[in-house]
Structure 1
Amino acid sequence: MSTSNTVSFEGVLCPLVTPFAGDSVDETALTELVERLVDADMNGFVPAGTTGEFASLTSEEYRVVLETTVAAADGMPVMAGTAATTVPGTLGRIETAADIGADAALVVLPYFHSANDPAGNEAFLSAVADDAALPVYLYNIPACTGQEIPPATVESVGRHDNVRGLKDSSGDFNYFLDVATRAPDDFQLYQGFDSHVVPGMLMGAEGGINALSNVIPEVFVAARDAVAMGDVERARAVGAKRIAPLFQQCVTHGFAPATKAALESRGWLETAAVRPPLVELDEQTKEEIEMSVDHALAID
């Protein structure tokens, strides 16, 4: 299937956290966060991804998260996380996302059962792309899937009419450069490793899909705009001095827990609650994260 969707993705897309209130998704808090990020000049949103704790959501909660995001985004591009372990399961999530009004789907390799041959990964991704109701972006996150999407597979699957790009959250910049060299000219690359977003854009990435854009959107917008204006010195300073130190907290403590703690420190979430098996951070760690947030916002 080749979809006719022509929505353009570019710049900084925010992989939204999923706020919780007790045992439920906090739709009000999610709406307020999206609206705040729209005002901050985000380029689009990615709900129900890794930072959004998609694996801890019921099917109904998954739909609620997507519906709330699409409504609050008010026409801004939405790339829905659609991770599942089977081709039909992935296609079902993509169908749900399409029905709700999302503009594209973010697709991972099956987790738990890794392919015993690279051909298996290509077969899975190609089967999804063939029948997907939305344009597909690949999501390379080997820490969660057990293996990377091999660059040769990206090169091959990237020629599919319905595959538009890739988010790389490997943290391996050599992988990113290899994919950038192999990918078709119109293939869009996004850096998912926050501390690599500036070097990634300088090396040809379309932009970033970065957890901390939930928290310090103005900093990511500053990085995006500096690269667009060719101000390499400023872009490098923003990345190294404002993004990288806070991102280390995410690497150390986990993306959803650290991002939610940072949002709580800004007063943008009432609670930093996460769902098991994730654990909310202790008060000392929250204080350290708050200091890092303040540091990122104080530097210009």
Structure 2
Amino acid sequence: MIFKGSAVALITPFDENGRVNYEKLGELVEFHIENNTDAIVACGTTGEASTLDDEEHLAVIKYVIDKANKRIPIIAGTGGNDTIHSIYMCQQAEKFGADALLVITPYYNKGNKSGIKKHFETIASSVNIPIIMYNVPSRTGVNLAPSMVSELAQVKNIVGIKEASGNLAQVAEVCRLVPKDFAVYSGNDDTILPLLSLGGHGVISVLANICPQETHDLVYKFFEGDINGSRELQLGMKPLIDALFIEVNPVPVKTAANLLGFEVGGLRLPLAEMDPKNVEVLKQQLVNCGLKLQEGTC
């Protein structure tokens, strides 16, 4: 298994000119290692991968891998809606030393059932490192059905799924059908504990960008039998989680990181600044969770 616990879906910091800020990226990697994040996903949705060109995308993946230097597993976001292009990105990430790949279901052109299956099988056959499938129908327009997940789980190096359908009945069916060593990770911060109770192995988290220790603890308290402690963290952070999704991800979490003094820069269009009313909601929930806003942002 690649990891158990909390993997952060890492934000990508930009400088004042909108370029990737590698110095700040390195600081974020160190922050997560110091605060017990269990794995890092580089260039996922939260990392604004859709607006990174190939050169930037691969440079960010390589930088994070090199900076981590095997101290923590690095999972590279390399999926897309073009199978051949996805293969190229996956193979490059493998060459850089990625521990695993996060491969999203094809979006926009979607693919029929046989096409989606062949998409994942073809990518898997092109690399030798583990693959985590990513099911997020709210973004892709495609739902990876439990029966399909079960079939793809038989592929040697398809070892897990990030399940972000928001459908716990579907998650339960996935957990029922897949092999015991097939990892199921929550893709929704508001239902980490329910997914763990169904047999899940952790979360790939947006929340962990600003609450890494707490997100790790939420998962490990469950694993260690402290269900009440895990539940208290899940419910206690629920208002903050809601605020982090008050607008499309990663707009609120990147805003939150800046409010907390991480200085990760702005967003790339078509993402832009939050509505001021929503910023006030976010600020309040950050404070309510005991997080200290940078001076001048209150």
Number of residue equivalences? 289
**Alpha-carbon contact 2:76-2:102 (below 8 Å) kept:** yes
Q: CA RMSD in A?
A: 1.5
Q: 1:60 deviation in Å?
A: 1.0
- Which residue, 40, 43, 49 being the options, matches 2:38? 43
2:87 aligned residue: 91
Matched, 1:263 2:257: yes
- Which residue, 239, 244, 251 being the options, matches 1:245? 239
Q: 1:46 deviation in Å?
A: 0.3
2: CA distance between counterparts of 1:140 and 1:252?
A: 21
- Which residue, 145, 164, 170 being the options, matches 1:169? 164
Stretches of structure 2 lacking an aligned partner (at least 5 in a row): 292-298
- Which residue, 290, 294, 300 being the options, matches 2:287? 294
| 1:65-108: CA deviation from partner (whole Å, max 9, x where unpaired) | 11221122231101100122222111111111111111111111
1:111 aligned residue: 107
2: CA distance between counterparts of 1:103 and 1:67?
A: 12
**Alpha-carbon contact 2:38-2:216 (below 8 Å) kept:** no
**Seq. identity, %:** 27
Q: 1:149 deviation in Å?
A: 0.9
Q: 1:153 deviation in Å?
A: 0.6
Range 219-228 or range 98-107, more displaced? 219-228
Normalised by the size of structure 1, how large is the TM-score? Answer: 0.92
Q: 1:202 deviation in Å?
A: 2.3
Normalised by the size of structure 2, how large is the TM-score? Answer: 0.93
1:12 aligned residue: 6
Provide the secondary structure at the position in 1 that maps to 2:120. helix
**Alpha-carbon contact 2:18-2:268 (below 8 Å) kept:** no
1: CA distance between counterparts of 2:283 and 2:59?
A: 30
Q: 1:285 deviation in Å?
A: 2.5
* Aligned AA (1:263): A
| 1:224-243: CA deviation from partner (whole Å, max 9, x where unpaired) | 2211221111111110111x
* Aligned AA (1:195): D
Moved over 6 A (4+): none
Stretches of structure 1 lacking an aligned partner (at least 5 in a row): 1-6
| 1:45-78: CA deviation from partner (whole Å, max 9, x where unpaired) | 0010010111100111102211221122231101
**Alpha-carbon contact 1:41-1:221 (below 8 Å) kept:** yes
| 1:274-293: CA deviation from partner (whole Å, max 9, x where unpaired) | 11111121444223212212
| 1:17-53: CA deviation from partner (whole Å, max 9, x where unpaired) | 0111122101111110110111000111001001011
The residue correspondences of 1:196-275 to structure 2 (distance < 5 A) are 196-242=191-237, 244-271=238-265, 273-275=266-268
